[in-house]
Structure 1
Amino acid sequence: MRVIEFTYHLKDIDAIAASVLEHLESKTVLFNGAMGAGKTTFINALLKAMQSSDVATSPTFSIVNEYTIPSDKVYHFDFYRVKSLDEAYNFGIEDYFNSNHWLFLEWPERIEALLPEDAQSITITDLDENRRSLKLTIKTKHLTEQIAMTEIKF
């Protein structure tokens, strides 16, 4: 497992999103963090880095929002209100996982048993009013890469 950590000011979020995008090795990204940590805000910056003209909004009530990027789509999920795996099956989560489109999942622990093995994880921590810590966890298959860690500060 490889972990890349970024500490950034909110004014630098677009640069951080572009850097994170370069490190992603999976199109399924799990977003972890407390309520209000900035998960949707970071997803919005990722969309911008992916050249989307869409603006990310929290799909807390709709459960999934769809955004367009050049030659692809992004499905943005918020599982905060999902109470069971059956609810996820009822709205067709398997179809999304098999779609080969980008999947950004907030509150993924609510459907942990369904998550693809190749999913990468982003954990955002609110350090203070204008600073965040972001940890990108990349699962690797090679033992030689398991302990690598990089820290980037802005």
Structure 2
Amino acid sequence: MRWTYSIEELPQVSKEIIKMLDDARVVALSGQMGAGKTTLIHAVCDALGVTSVVGSPTFSIINEYSTANGPVYHIDCYRLRDEQEAIDAGVEDCLYSGEWCFVEWPEKIPHIFPDETARLSITAIDEKKRLIELIKL
């Protein structure tokens, strides 16, 4: 599935992505720096009813957000050196928790994802448009 969207269209696109994910709860988001990974996760969290403040977990590695249906995990692997550091930080626990889990920079930890992980690729087309491609594994 593919979406081309502007920031104004992101709330609707986020709802469509959630529907397409079906039972997948772990989502790996790839894209260059500044492509819009965190912005997309923020919009998806809004659509999921997150009640806490959504922000980038670049330094904390894992942010946990609250919803009426349980936690949502937002993980940023950019600063991780290797998979062992991710495991030590609790990333693996989140990935296998059964809760929503959105992971930025998944290429840093390729071997610890559950088999049913969905993959999203985000590409900046220009300053205002982005392309998302969903690969549901």
TM-score by length of 1: 0.84
Query: How many equivalent pairs are there?
Result: 136
Structure 1 spans left out of the alignment, 5+ residues: 140-154
**Over residues 69-113 of structure 1, what are the superposed CA-to-partner deviations in whole Å (9 max), with x where a residue is unaligned?**
221111100000101112112112332223211110000110101
CA distance in 1 between partners of 2:93 and 2:11 (Å): 31
* Pairs within 5 Å for 1:79-94: 79-94=77-92
Which sits farther off after the overlay, 87-96 or 77-86? 87-96
The two structures, once aligned, show a CA RMSD in angstroms of 1.1
CA distance in 2 between partners of 1:129 and 1:93 (Å): 32
Structure 2 spans left out of the alignment, 5+ residues: none
* Pairs within 5 Å for 1:1-154: 4-25=1-22, 26-139=24-137
TM-score by length of 2: 0.94
In structure 1, what residue type is equivalent to 2:8?
Answer: K
Asked if the contact 1:60–1:79 (Cα under 8 Å) also holds between the matched residues in 2, the reply is: yes
Aligned identity (percent) is 38
In structure 1, what residue type is equivalent to 2:68?
Answer: P
Asked if the contact 1:124–1:133 (Cα under 8 Å) also holds between the matched residues in 2, the reply is: yes
Question: Which runs of 4 or more aligned residues in structure 1 lie more than 3 Å from their structure 2 counterparts after TM superposition?
Answer: none
**Bigger radius of gyration among the two:** 1
